[in-house]
Amino acid sequence: MILDGKVVIVTGGARGLGQAIAVAVAEAGARVAVLDVIDTAETLALLKDLGPGQHLGVHGDVTDFEGLRAAVQQVADACGAVHGLINNAGLYKGVHDMPFEEITEEQWDRMMAINVKGVWNVTRAVTPLMREQGYGKIVNVSSTTVLVGAAGMSHYVASKGAVFALTRSLSRELGPAGVRVNTVMPGLTMSQASMDNLGPALGAVEQMVNATTALGRPQQPADLPGTMIYLLSELSDAVTGQAIVVDGGQSHW
């Protein structure tokens, strides 16, 4: 299997896209550490069938650097190494219909604290180990909203733009240490959070997606992990600082 022998941390893996990513990464042979601020039991139950005792859940808040250092140490103690990190945790659920003048400073700062500073925090908690190993793969989850703009969520779009910019910058700093850093930009994907955000508009949005994507169908969580597994694997060792759009062929970059 392509990720055989690898240890991968998936942040925000307790539900939604992170859960689908954790399962697919485990199916590809990796030992997965699911890091989340909420209970990871549901994902661990799914992972259990893919190799009892192999995977673990670790509590971590991406805004708390010291807590993350302890969480990463817990993974390293249990697994002996950390080869891959998927920075998927993000503030997305409940983010819709927020005109930019009505976003409060508190909402703006919380968005940046989780979506931007969170990526920086988890990355700097993991990179000492990766530097020591001389090898590592980091995949940051951005969004195609950065490419097309999206009304009613300007703080979210700005945060995901920063995730891409940070990726490019980190790839330069970490490349000499053998650590590759890339971004995946998913288009609208039918996680529970997306469906909740869209509410009654879901049907109309699905029709719009069918009409504007090359594949002509809504994207599902299981559509995303393949690209991430490629980026975690040695097949992509010459790829760093890149953004790969996974959206069924809707946006162009």
For residue 218, state whether it binds ligand NAD (rule: CB under 6 A): no
For residue 57, state whether it binds ligand NAD (rule: CB under 6 A): no
Which of these is catalytic: 92, 135, 156, 230? 156
Backbone φ, ψ for residue 181 (5° rounding): -130, 120
- Among residues 1, 38, 215, 235, which is the contact residue for ligand NAD, using CB under 6 A? 38
Active site residue 156: yes
Nearer to ligand NAD, 90 or 248 (CB): 90
Displacement of CA 188 from its chain's centroid (Å):
14
Amino acid in the structure at residue 230: Y
Q: How far is the CB of 186 from ligand NAD (least distance, A)?
A: 4
Does residue 121 contact residue 65 with C-beta atoms inside 8 Å? yes
H-helix or E-strand containing 225? helix 225-232
Q: How far is the CB of 52 from ligand NAD (least distance, A)?
A: 23
Distance separating alpha carbons of residues 139 and 182, to the nearest angstrom? 5
Distance separating alpha carbons of residues 104 and 54, to the nearest angstrom? 43
User: What is the number of other CB atoms lying within 10 angstroms of the CB of residue 131?
Assistant: 15
Span near ligand NAD by CB under 6 A; candidates 60-68, 147-155, 208-216, 235-243: 60-68
Residues in region 126-185 near ligand NAD by CB under 6 A:
141, 143
Q: How far is the CB of 138 from ligand NAD (least distance, A)?
A: 14
Q: How far is the CB of 36 from ligand NAD (least distance, A)?
A: 5
Binding mask 96-115 for ligand NAD (x = CB under 6 A): ------------------x-
H-helix or E-strand containing 35? strand 31-36
Interface with ligand NAD (CB under 6 A), residue total 29
Distance separating alpha carbons of residues 156 and 91, to the nearest angstrom? 8
- Among residues 194, 213, 227, 233, which is the contact residue for ligand NAD, using CB under 6 A? 194
Structure tokens at 51: 């190799």
Count of residues for the chain? 253
Transcribe 113-157 into DSSP letters.
HHHTHHHHHHHHHHHHHHHHHT-EEEEEE--THHHH--TTBHHHH
CA distance readout (Å), 97 to 6, 103, 109, 141, 154: 41, 10, 18, 22, 10
- Among residues 3, 9, 17, 98, which is the contact residue for ligand NAD, using CB under 6 A? 17
- Among residues 27, 42, 61, 206, which is the contact residue for ligand NAD, using CB under 6 A? 61
Where in the sequence numbering do the catalytic residues fall?
A: 156
* Binding stretches for ligand NAD (CB under 6 A): 11-12, 14-18, 36-38, 60-63, 88-93, 114, 141, 143, 186, 188-189, 191, 193-194
